[in-house]
């Protein structure tokens, strides 16, 4: 595949300058210019000229360009190819005109160097062949002290950062402790999270041991992505909505706080969960300067629950993008109206773009946000 976008050997800057080098035209350092990007100012709840917009899973199967890449390489082959992974995201940013690039990766590769036998099976999604089902199994999950096996992820961060204008922040990410624990225990996705909740309720000490190990790994992983050049990071708790607020407080909150704490001292952290709006105040308590909101609650109500001392991200239902363009425009404007111009809103979907989504509807959403 041709590579019109990236240099052959990705470096922290295409110009070869230090990230702190001064720009001769305006006297601003690269770091200063990046800090003034639209999305970064929204994370800090500063007034912005318009609402920034990016989309979860914005580089994905709904794009013909992405499908052409996937004809040549399987999913993990793409994830572990820094040049190609960066090219996919950079091309997507150019195609859509969004205000941020999230690195092209997945939640689960962090589990491989921790001892999990991970496979992305065609038609089945992620499968872990050696799940943790009993308290003694927790000892099989290695402490992630050496991130060298995940160097390819940091190379993706560097290559993505090198290929973008300073006005486009690069977002790193990781799965949250509960979601990663759920995959480790279930061996894949689940509707009821039967094995996960059983271990959690029956063997609380083993549960907290497991969550401690994962939280420490996630913390190191997020910080490493910031060191590699990401300007902010997002923590995805995709499955925690299956819990009640009391269970979240007892079994999850302290571990999510551990996962976020070190990264939050360095950069904005977006803390995102789906499935249960009642958890929103607890997500804010666990940490994050930006709280991601799914579509199951009005944005204005969610912001009151989170607290107006936090920025929020969201929250259009991804299925709206399967409707007609007038509906996309109307629903997008409704979300913007819920934010009411308050500083600190980042427009996004309430979850990732669905593979069946027409590209023209995505472009309509982005144009609506930019023109509002």
- Which residues are identified as catalytic? 57, 61, 70, 106, 183
DSSP letter, residue 22: B
* Contacts of residue 99, Cβ cutoff 8 Å, sequence gap at least 6: 37, 38, 39, 52, 53, 54, 167, 168, 169
φ, ψ for residue 133, nearest 5 deg: -115, -25
Distance CA 356, CA 347 (A): 21
Q: What is the sign of the dihedral through the CA atoms of 179, 183, 186 and 188?
A: positive
**Dihedral sign (CA 105, 233, 235, 319):** negative
Cβ atoms of residues 30 and 11 within 8 Å: no
Residue ranges of E strands in 114-268:
118-121, 125-128, 170-175, 232-237
- The residues that bridge with 312 in the sheet, in sequence order, are 291, 345
β-strands 232-237, 269-273: how paired?
parallel
CA angle 339, 342, 348 (to 5 degrees): 45
């Amino acid at each position: 595949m041709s590579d019109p976008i990236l240099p052959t050997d990705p470096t922290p800057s295409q110009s070869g300058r230090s990230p702190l080098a001064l720009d001769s035209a305006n006297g601003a350092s690269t770091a200063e210019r990046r800090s003034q990007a639209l999305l970064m100012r929204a994370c800090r709840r500063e007034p912005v000229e318009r609402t920034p917009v990016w989309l979860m899973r914005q580089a994905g199967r709904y794009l013909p360009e992405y499908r052409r890449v996937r004809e040549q390489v399987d999913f993990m082959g793409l994830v572990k190819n820094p040049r190609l992974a960066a090219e996919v995201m950079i091309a997507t940013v150019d195609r859509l005109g969004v205000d941020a690039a999230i690195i092209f990766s997945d939640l689960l590769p962090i589990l491989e160097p921790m001892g999990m036998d991970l496979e992305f099976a065609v038609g089945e999604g992620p499968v872990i062949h050696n799940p943790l089902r009993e308290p003694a199994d927790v000892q099989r999950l290695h402490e992630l002290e050496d991130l060298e096996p995940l160097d390819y992820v940091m190379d993706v961060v560097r290559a993505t950062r090198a290929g973008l204008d300073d006005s486009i922040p690069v977002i790193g990410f990781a799965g949250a402790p509960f979601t990663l624990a759920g995959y480790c225990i279930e061996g894949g996705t689940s509707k009821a999270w039967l094995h996960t909740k059983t271990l959690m309720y029956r063997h609380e000490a083993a549960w907290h041991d497991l969550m401690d190990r994962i939280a420490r790994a996630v913390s190191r992983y997020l910080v490493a992505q910031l060191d590699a050049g990401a300007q902010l990071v997002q923590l995805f708790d995709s499955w925690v909505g299956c819990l009640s607020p009391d269970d979240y407080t007892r079994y999850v909150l302290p571990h999510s706080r551990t996962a976020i704490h070190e990264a939050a001292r360095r950069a904005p952290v977006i803390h995102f969960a789906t499935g249960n709006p009642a958890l929103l105040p607890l997500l804010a308590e666990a940490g994050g300067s930006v709280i991601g909101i799914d579509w199951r609650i009005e944005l204005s109500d969610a912001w009151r629950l989170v607290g107006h001392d936090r920025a929020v991200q969201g929250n259009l239902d991804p299925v709206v993008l399967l409707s007609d363009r007038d509906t996309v425009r109307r629903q997008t404007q409704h979300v913007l109206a819920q934010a009411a111009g308050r500083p600190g809103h980042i427009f996004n979907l309430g979850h990732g773009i669905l593979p069946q989504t027409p590209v023209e509807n995505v472009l309509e959403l982005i144009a609506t946000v930019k023109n509002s």
